[in-house]
């Protein structure tokens, strides 16, 4: 496995296919972990990567409030606190009722993920 130096992006559900190409060409050396299961959670693998890079972005489709990403960010903050070089960022769906007609605008897309990647590197 190639060693990544800058940031780890944890993906819940289908977001991995959206943000994986986001960092290509940006000069950011990002590792993407696709969380295929939430329980059991492979916390050891994720924490090892976060401890290595010192930065983490959590991406998921659900709302920001009460979404699984908040739980994951809290767990990683507890496990990796002394290794973090920047606060953990969450890129999520909006805190609104799910709009079936505009679902692709609701989901976190490449622009929002790219913004988070750039922002976390500036912290």
pLDDT higher than threshold 70 for residue 13: no
Determine the 3-state secondary structure of 61 from DSSP: strand
Dihedrals phi, psi of 101, to nearest 5 degrees: -70, -25
User: What are the tens digits of pLDDT across the range 23-62?
Assistant: 555 678 888 888 877 888 889 999 999 999 999 999 888 8
Query: Could you tell me the domains of the chain?
Result: 7-122 (3.40.50.920)
How far apart CA 49 and CA 34 sit, in angstroms, is: 13
User: What are the tens digits of pLDDT across the range 78-107?
Assistant: 999 999 999 999 998 888 888 888 877 888
Beta bridge partners of 32: 9
- Please indicate whether residue 78 or residue 3 has the higher confidence score (pLDDT): 78
The token pair at 19 is: 């943000």
Neighbours of 41 (CB within 10 A): 14
How far apart CA 82 and CA 84 sit, in angstroms, is: 6
pLDDT higher than threshold 60 for residue 10: yes
Query: Where do we find the tokens 């979404």?
Result: 67
Q: What is the mean pLDDT of residues 61-66?
A: 86
């Amino acid at each position: 496995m190639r060693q990544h130096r800058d940031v780890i992006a944890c993906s819940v559900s289908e977001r991995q296919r959206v943000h994986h190409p986001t960092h290509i060409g940006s000069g950011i050396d990002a590792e993407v972990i696709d969380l295929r299961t939430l329980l059991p959670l492979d916390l050891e693998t994720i924490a090892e990567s976060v401890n290595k890079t010192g930065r983490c972005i959590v991406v998921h489709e659900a709302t920001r409030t009460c979404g699984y990403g908040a739980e994951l960010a809290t767990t990683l903050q507890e496990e990796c606190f002394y290794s973090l070089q920047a606060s953990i960022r969450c890129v999520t769906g909006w805190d609104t009722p799910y709009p079936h007609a505009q679902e692709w605008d609701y989901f976190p897309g490449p622009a929002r993920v790219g913004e988070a990647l750039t922002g976390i590197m500036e912290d």
